[in-house]
Amino acid sequence: MYGNTYQREYARAMGETAYDTGYQLKIIERELKKKDLTEGERSNLLAAESILKKQVQLKVLNQDAKKLVEKL
C-alpha cells in the first residue's frame, strides 16, 4: 500500500502524471466491478473513466507531436 503511494507521489513530484492517471483508472475499474452501485454512481464512474482516457490520449498525442517537431 505504501509503495504505491510513494511511487504515485514521486511521479507527481517529477511532473509525470501518467502513473497517477493509471492509478485513478485502476480505482475506477475496481469500483465499476462492484454490484451494489446505483445508476447515478455507475454513470458518474463511467463519465470519469471516459474523461481520464481522453486525457491520456491527448497527452500521448501531444508527446508524439513534440517528438515529430524535434525530428524536423
Q: What angle do CA 5, 54, 26 make, to 5 degrees?
A: 30
| Continuous segment of H or E residues that includes residue 19 | helix 18-32
Residue type at 68?
L
pLDDT on residue 39 = 93
What is the pTM for the complete model shown? 0.65
Q: Which domain holds residue 34?
A: 2-71
> Residues 5-15: pLDDT tens digits?
777 777 777 66
> Residues 16-72: pLDDT tens digits?
666 677 788 888 999 999 989 999 999 999 999 999 888 888 888 888 888 888 887
Query: pLDDT: is 49 or 3 the higher one?
Result: 49
Task: Count structural domains, the chain.
Answer: 1
DSSP state of 35: S
